[in-house]
């Protein structure tokens, strides 16, 4: 089976014009700074599915996962330094900060290690970045809110994990969206850590002091928690932007059936971790044409299509997609200018 797979990869590689450096002896590490919500759990599960097969098929020798015990930058920086000493050939990273880890990332690059960041990306130029246009996602939240509430109104913002590139980019997009649509006003902002329970507590804390809210703009993993907080406080149900979590979409389905409730849902697919893995493998394979920034689309659901996909999302899970080596090659080609 292994030999047949390698022959298949060889044929595909020749057809795609990629290099033929053997990666079967290469070791790839995954540095992850946080695993405390359903998105991160789905991300790790997808990575495990794809990389276990890649190791079994002898595409790479190892694809080990290292998740820090806290969300702190110094902990992840020390982890990266340990991975350098352990002799990994590539590091895939979901980073705690876009710039505070750059020193450790540069050390890895200087040691000849390929670094591919995704989700929480880094700004160090030597690293590759699998980038989702989170800023556009933030802008689209306001566009979707405008379609439902053309006259505007007050919005509550739920932010994600502080210090990460994702949180900063979505927040910037929301600000730009409101600037272009001044009929909306963000009257308060809370931190939800992309987690339903955290978001519910944070929203519940500020609700008594808020004016009437027409909508809640979010970052994913916080929509259902926000809905529960409004219901518990006896407040009118606002339009809550969802983040592709099963419980959020199930809530949307129930409310739509009840009175036609309208909203929108978007998030990065957790399986983007597998795309980052394959990009690292392709760099190790000797490809010279891979851009350091690869833009990939976020996953969005509309009023008309979310119910069709809901049965495929595990209870407590997130809508996702695992990427193949072929998908990575296609993504690379799509980003070559």
3 state SS for the chain: CHHHHHHHHHHHHHHHCCCCCCCCCCEEEEEECCCCCHHHHHHHHHHHHHHHHHHHCCCCCEEEEEECCCCCHHHHHHHHHHHHHCCCCEEEEECCCCCCCHHHHHHHHHCCCEEEEECCCCCCCCCEEEEECHHHHHHHHHHHHHHHCCCCEEEEEEECCCCCHHHHHHHHHHHHHHHHCCCEEEEEEEECCCCHHHHHHHHHHHHHHCCCCCEEECCCCCHHHHHHHHHHCCCCCCEECECCEHHHHHHHHHHHHHHCCCCCEEECCCCHHHHHHHHHHHHHCCCCCCCCEEEECCEEECCCCHHHHHHHCCCCCECCCCCCHHHHHHHHHHHCC
Per residue in 131-190, pLDDT tens?
989 999 999 999 999 999 999 999 999 999 999 989 999 999 999 999 999 999 999 999
Q: What pLDDT, on the 0 to 100 scale, is given for residue 12? A: 42
In order of 136, 138, 157, 182, the CA distances from 143 in angstroms are 10, 9, 15, 12
In terms of Cα–Cα distance, which of 3, 57, 62, 39 is closest to 324? 57
Task: Could you please state the CATH topology (level 3) that the domain comprising 134-267 is classified under.
Answer: Rossmann fold (3.40.50)
Task: Could you please state the CATH topology (level 3) that the domain comprising 2-132+269-297+320-335 is classified under.
Answer: Rossmann fold (3.40.50)
Residue numbers of the chain with a pLDDT score lower than 70 = 1-21
CB 19 within 8 A of CB 287: yes
Q: What is the bridge-based pairing of β-strands 299-301 and 265-267?
A: antiparallel
Q: What pLDDT, on the 0 to 100 scale, is given for residue 323? A: 95
Q: Which two tokens stand for residue 163?
A: 């210090």
* Single pTM value for the model: 0.81
Intervals of CATH 3.40.50.2300 along the chain: 2-132+269-297+320-335, 134-267
Q: What pLDDT, on the 0 to 100 scale, is given for residue 20? A: 53
CB 279 within 8 A of CB 328: yes
Q: What pLDDT, on the 0 to 100 scale, is given for residue 7? A: 32
Report d(CA 265, CA 300) in Å as an integer.
6
In order of 134, 150, 302, the CA distances from 181 in angstroms are 19, 10, 21
């Amino acid at each position: 089976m292994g030999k047949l797979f390698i022959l298949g990869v060889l044929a595909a590689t020749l057809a795609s014009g990629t290099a033929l450096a053997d990666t079967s002896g290469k070791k790839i590490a995954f540095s992850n700074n946080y695993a405390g919500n359903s998105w991160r759990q789905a991300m790790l599960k997808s990575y495990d599915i794809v990389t276990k097969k890649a190791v079994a098929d002898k595409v790479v020798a190892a694809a080990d996962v290292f998740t820090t015990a806290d969300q702190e930058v110094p902990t992840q920086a020390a982890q990266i330094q340990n991975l350098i000493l352990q002799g990994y050939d590539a590091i895939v990273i979901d980073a705690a900060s876009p710039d505070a880890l750059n020193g450790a990332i540069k050390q890895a690059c200087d040691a000849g290690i390929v670094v591919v960041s995704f989700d929480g990306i880094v700004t160090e130029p030597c690293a590759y970045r699998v980038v989702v246009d989170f800023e556009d996602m933030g802008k689209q939240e306001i566009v979707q809110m405008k379609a439902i509430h053309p006259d505007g109104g007050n919005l509550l913002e739920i932010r994600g994990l502080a210090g990460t590139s994702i949180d900063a980019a979505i927040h910037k997009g929301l600000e730009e969206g409101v600037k272009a649509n001044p009929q909306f006003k963000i009257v308060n902002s809370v931190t939800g850590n992309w987690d339903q329970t955290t978001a519910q507590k944070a929203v519940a804390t500020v609700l008594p002091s808020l004016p009437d809210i027409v909508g809640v703009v979010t970052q994913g993993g916080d929509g259902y928690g926000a809905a529960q907080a409004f219901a518990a406080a006896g407040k009118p149900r606002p339009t809550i932007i969802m983040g592709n979590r099963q419980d959020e979409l199930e809530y949307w389905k129930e409310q739509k059936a009840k009175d036609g409730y309208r909203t929108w849902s978007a998030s990065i697919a957790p399986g983007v971790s597998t795309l980052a893995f394959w990009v690292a493998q392709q760099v190790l394979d000797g490809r010279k044409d891979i851009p350091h920034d690869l833009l990939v689309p976020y996953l969005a659901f509309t009023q008309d299509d979310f119910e069709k996909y809901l049965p495929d999302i595990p209870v407590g899970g997130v809508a996702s997609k695992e990427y193949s080596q072929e998908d990575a090659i296609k993504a690379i080609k799509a980003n070559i200018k």
